[in-house]
Homo-oligomer: A and B are copies of this chain.
Amino acid sequence: MSNEFAFIDWIRSQQRTEASVLLAAGDDLAIVKFDPNDLVLIGIDQILDGVHFNLNEHDPRLIGKKAMNRNLSDCAAMACLPVSAVVSFAIPRGMSVECMKEIYLGMKEAGEAFDCHIVGGDTGSWDQKLAISVAITGKSAGLTPVRRSGARVGDTIYVTGALGGSILGRHLIFTPRVREARDLVARHAIRSMIDLSDGLSRDLGHICRESGVGAVLDSGCIPIHDDARQRPGDVLLHALNDGEDHELCFTADAGIDSAIRIGKIVEEKGVWIDRSGVREKLITAGFEHHF
């Protein structure tokens, strides 16, 4: 990178204290204040050039948005409110400061849309491709965090939107379902939840494994995104396996109108699909890596 220190100074100018942020960038660590009743939720997620985005092809601001929104989507999956993020950039030598600023601004905009502020970070230059890690903290803010492990036999399985074909562009511009998750958990007994990053078949498999149960999907109920129809191959398999939809998948009693019912939690382990009365096990290896 041509001027790493100029970039660091510029980043600092973009960060400021907020009600919950007592000290933002410029020290060894940031200081954040939580309400005494809050549980603190913590996670990290990275995006890598050539794996999750392509620096030569994609708008840098959207790359930044994706990096932040993946973490916000993890907050949604726990029904917590995002609070702050810290970011690390491994920057290819020779990369322009302007491009890095665009990426940063994309992250900042995505975060601030959910009142989540970047409070610190780390930059390093190397002769390899761009890697971006975002670590997020969230707060329970009056709602018990929803885990993957709470699904019970008989639960109805839901998703919050149509699936498949996100590689056509949606993986860069999805909206994390933070508000939907808060609303669902405030109004219903949501027993387990996850965000769909690796594809419905694999992510629902995580819920099943953590909860010690199985799942049967109703093939006629899976909401298929128009993007999936533009991809070669079986559209249902795209909806089940493509990944990076970042919709929520959750289990609860029947009768929730604000999400789409796609199946049932059952006792028999594994993730199954029912096609017109014929039940077959889903092979989750179909995860479509981007690029």
Residue of B nearest to A26 (CB): B210
Q: What are the nearest 6 A-B pairs in CB distance? A: A135-B135, A36-B36, A28-B77, A133-B133, A29-B43, A44-B86
Residue of B nearest to A128 (CB): B128
Q: When the two chains form their complex, are residues A51 and B86 in contact, meaning their CB atoms are under 8 A apart? A: no
Inter-chain CA distance A243–B48, complex, in Å, is 28
| A76 shortest CB reach to chain B, Å | 8
Chain B residues within an 8 Å CB radius of A133: 44, 46, 88, 122, 133, 135
Q: When the two chains form their complex, are residues A41 and B29 in contact, meaning their CB atoms are under 8 A apart? A: yes
In chain A between 2 and 20, which residues have their CB closer than 8 angstroms to a CB of chain B? none
Interface membership of A235, Cβ < 8 A: no
Chain B residues within an 8 Å CB radius of A97: none
Q: Of B42, B48, B50, B51, which is within 8 A of A119 by CB? A: B42
Binding site for B on A (CB under 8 A): 22-23, 26-34, 36, 39-46, 48-52, 74-75, 77-78, 80, 84, 86-88, 90, 119-122, 124-129, 131, 133, 135-138, 140, 145, 147-149, 194-195, 210
Chain B residues within an 8 Å CB radius of A48: 90, 124, 126, 128
Q: When the two chains form their complex, are residues A40 and B40 in contact, meaning their CB atoms are under 8 A apart? A: yes
Residue of B nearest to A75 (CB): B29
Inter-chain CA distance A65–B73, complex, in Å, is 31
Number of copies: 2
Q: When the two chains form their complex, are residues A32 and B27 in contact, meaning their CB atoms are under 8 A apart? A: no
Chain B residues within an 8 Å CB radius of A140: 31
The CB with the most chain B CB atoms within 10 A, among A28, A120, A140, is that of A28
Q: When the two chains form their complex, are residues A90 and B46 in contact, meaning their CB atoms are under 8 A apart? A: yes
| A44 shortest CB reach to chain B, Å | 4
| A241 shortest CB reach to chain B, Å | 16
Q: Of B26, B121, B147, B194, which is within 8 A of A44 by CB? A: B121
Q: Of B26, B43, B77, B126, which is within 8 A of A30 by CB? A: B43
The CB with the most chain B CB atoms within 10 A, among A30, A34, A127, A131, is that of A131
The CB with the most chain B CB atoms within 10 A, among A77, A119, A126, A137, is that of A126
Q: When the two chains form their complex, are residues A43 and B120 in contact, meaning their CB atoms are under 8 A apart? A: yes
Residue of B nearest to A139 (CB): B40
Q: When the two chains form their complex, are residues B126 and A51 in contact, meaning their CB atoms are under 8 A apart? A: yes
Chain B residues within an 8 Å CB radius of A44: 86-88, 120-122, 133, 135
Residue of B nearest to A147 (CB): B27
Residue of B nearest to A125 (CB): B51
Chain B residues within an 8 Å CB radius of A148: 26-28
Inter-chain CA distance A160–B149, complex, in Å, is 47
Q: When the two chains form their complex, are residues B39 and A22 in contact, meaning their CB atoms are under 8 A apart? A: yes
Chain B residues within an 8 Å CB radius of A26: 148-149, 210
Inter-chain CA distance A79–B36, complex, in Å, is 21
